[in-house]
Amino acid sequence: MRLPRAAAAVIGGVALMTMAACGNSDTASPGNQSQAPAPSNSSMSSQFGPACGAVPKDGPGSFQGMAQDPVATAASNNPVLSTLVAAVKQAGLVDTLNTAKDITVFAPTNEAFAKIPKADLDKLLADKDGLTKVLTHHVVGKTVTPTDLASGNFETLAKDSVTSSGSGESFTVDGASVVCGNVKTGNATVYLVDSVLMPAEQFGTACASIPKDGPGSFQGMAQDPVATAASNNPALSTLVAAVTKAGLGDTLNGLKDITVFAPSNEAFAKIPKADLDKLLADKEALTKVLTYHVVPKKVGTTDLASGNFDTVEKGKLTTTGSGQNFTVGTGGAKVVCGNVKTANATVYIIDSVLMPPKA
């Protein structure tokens, strides 16, 4: 887990530097703010956040100065981003990012990088592939405005996604806080964040059975809401049939930032056929069981170590474990493929069906 964080931090830095280095002179003037798609919102032209006070008041590292340069150059002139800038050359992504236009960069600050143990950061810097993945995870290939951050899900250049939420001048991106937002450079909109964004990494023995490509692959599922994503995955066909029986497909697809503990086909196979048939025929009971598997918020892997969560069914669900070994519920259901992302949910595939405690 440490290594990906380091990677993320470095990549964020690389992305920022790279972009700065490649901006075109015809996009470098402060007047380029007119390129923003929604000029009517004052927040679109103003920086915000507590860390903005650390940005120089004048010179090339000031907000006005950065607006004159492409993003890598702009970052190199800003002391708040010196660690980020130092990582860019290591990734070898300067030309790639500098040729991009109208991008958005979630840029980890020096303090964000300082959270990463030195040994992990050094290891990441020596791994070009890993560094590239983390770096591009911080870059969105279009302009993201503060308004978009209120409830956003954006595809990154790493071909995965980041989510954002918030209001006013308080926003988070995959749990990292925006500490200085809406900073303009010649070719990018930059949001400084207080933590390195870690690309989602699935884990567990059953992950190997997930298709490598297509709508049922990890990348494919990330594009669809959770019920639709599950319907494209052959490992979850029994669960999908149960969700359809209960009429919960639209409900699950319409929720935001949820977590689903999804029983695999093998989990359902543990239930005697007569009992399973009886459950499937009782819509009220089936709904109760299925919604007991859903937590109405995002549960990260670190949250599973010692978790106690309210479920949509209004019950309680506990989790324990460490590393990549976690159990869910009092019956000890094991996570066999974890941290699977869909457009609106984080999914942990488990090897047993969770039964709500009887009243």
Q: Is the pTM of this model over 0.85?
A: no
| 5: pLDDT strictly greater than 70 | no
Domains and CATH numbers, the chain: 2-193 (2.30.180.10), 205-350 (2.30.180.10)
- 109-122 pLDDT per residue, tens: 999 888 878 888 88
The letter for the amino acid at 322 is S
Whether 152 contacts 161, CB under 8 Å: no
- 16-46 pLDDT per residue, tens: 433 334 343 333 333 333 343 333 333 345 8
pLDDT recorded at residue 45: 58
Which has more confidence, 348 or 213?
348
The DSSP 8-state label assigned to residue 93 in this structure reads -
b/e 188-207 (16+ beta carbons within 10 angstroms → b): bbbbbbbbbbbbbbbbbebb
Whether 265 contacts 210, CB under 8 Å: no
| 128: pLDDT strictly greater than 60 | yes
What mean pLDDT is predicted for residues 3-11? 40
d(CA 19, CA 75): 9
pLDDT recorded at residue 167: 94
- 178-209 pLDDT per residue, tens: 999 999 999 999 999 998 887 877 889 999 88
Residue with the two structure tokens 């600050």: 109
Confidence class of residue 359 from pLDDT cuts 50, 70 and 90?
Answer: low
Q: Read off φ and ψ for residue 79, nearest 5 degrees.
A: -65, -20
51-65, 148-162, 261-275, 316-330, range with the lowest pLDDT? 148-162
Beta sheet of 176-184, edge-to-edge order: 139-140, 103-108, 188-193, 176-184, 170-173, 161-167, 151-155
Q: H or E stretch including 167?
A: strand 161-167
Q: How many CA atoms within 13 Å lie on the side-chain side of 235? A: 23
Paired sense of beta strands 151-155 and 345-350, if any: unpaired
Residue with the two structure tokens 């918030």: 166
Give the percent of the chain with pLDDT over 90.
53
What mean pLDDT is predicted for residues 313-336? 93
| 247: pLDDT strictly greater than 80 | yes
